[in-house]
Chains A and B, each alone.
Chain A
């Protein structure tokens, strides 16, 4: 599969897809220089097989977590992690260090996942369906909100689990925007939807998460 190659590339030396550098730059705080990375990249560019393994070890968690959060499925996430790294290694000779290596991988992984999802069609369908008026669009009465606010009570595992349970279209926008830091104009470009749709999906995703998290709290309180 040459997923990333099928997407119009960003102009630039290391363009591997349409997840833009602007969004990726927001992740610089999460991408400090990694000891041994530059040396491994240079060796991998010379065809050193062991250097590939070092680079994989350094970045597998980041790449896999991204795929898993976007897909919500372990088997698919592993397949696409594999695909993303294979594409990365095949093209490592073109990497010139204009952006962080992890940013390069990140863009590539996002595009590999999006291409996969486009072939499946699931999130796109969800995005369009969500444009239709539904009961969820009405105002929330939220009786009892006073004693059931989430603030201060949310742990990471609970939030991860709730994100996994989001519908695919909601999850995709939530992960790209709130977790990975992409802007709405970038997400709109990636998902081929309007900026307004991206904002609307994000809002609905957060609302759905709130419902999921609060219903979890209620269940815990009932025990």
Chain B
């Protein structure tokens, strides 16, 4: 049986609608035009929340710094590598 499309399927159940939701979200269609949402407050709230979460996630900015120990280890490693390169160059005939 072919599943009805959430965008034109009338009298769709919550199960049918939510099964199509991942694909609908990523397709970029206007979900507010889905007939099911006009009559189902639960699914409408679900869609609103998921859209809200996705929108808020885009606003998350980098806010945390690594501890100073990270740079100290990087510095030490780079210095060691440079020393080894210098030694290797000095040993060459």
Contact B18–A139 (Cβ < 8 Å): yes
| Contact with A210, one of B50, B63, B66 (Cβ below 8 angstroms) | B50
Contact B56–A60 (Cβ < 8 Å): no
Contact B45–A149 (Cβ < 8 Å): yes
Decide yes or no whether A104 CB sits under 8 A from chain B. no
Decide yes or no whether B73 CB sits under 8 A from chain A. yes
Contact A150–B57 (Cβ < 8 Å): no
Contact B42–A78 (Cβ < 8 Å): no
Contact B58–A179 (Cβ < 8 Å): yes
The A-B contact count (CB < 8 A) is 129
Decide yes or no whether A145 CB sits under 8 A from chain B. yes
Q: How far is the CB of A203 from chain B (nearest CB, A)?
A: 4
CA A206 – CA B66 in complex, angstroms? 27
Decide yes or no whether A45 CB sits under 8 A from chain B. no
Residues of A within 8 A of B41 (CB): 145-146
Residues of A within 8 A of B48 (CB): 149-151
Decide yes or no whether B93 CB sits under 8 A from chain A. no
If the complex has contacts A81-B70, A139-B13, are A203 and B22 also in contact, measured as CB distance less than 8 A?
yes
Residues of B within 8 A of A151 (CB): 48-49, 52
Residues of A within 8 A of B25 (CB): 199, 203
Decide yes or no whether B90 CB sits under 8 A from chain A. no
Contact B53–A150 (Cβ < 8 Å): yes
Contact A86–B62 (Cβ < 8 Å): no
Q: List 27 A-B contacts (CB under 8 A).
A: A52-B75, A52-B78, A60-B71, A61-B63, A64-B65, A65-B62, A66-B62, A78-B66, A81-B66, A86-B74, A139-B13, A140-B46, A145-B46, A149-B45, A150-B49, A150-B52, A151-B48, A154-B53, A154-B56, A156-B60, A159-B57, A163-B57, A199-B25, A203-B21, A206-B54, A210-B46, A210-B50
List 6 A-B pairs, minimum CB-CB distance, nearest first. A65-B62, A203-B22, A145-B45, A178-B57, A139-B15, A64-B66
A→B interface (CB under 8 Å):
30, 49, 52-53, 56, 60-62, 64-66, 68-69, 77-78, 81-82, 85-86, 89-90, 138-143, 145-146, 148-151, 154, 156, 159-160, 163, 174, 178-179, 181, 184, 199-200, 202-203, 206-207, 209-210, 213-214
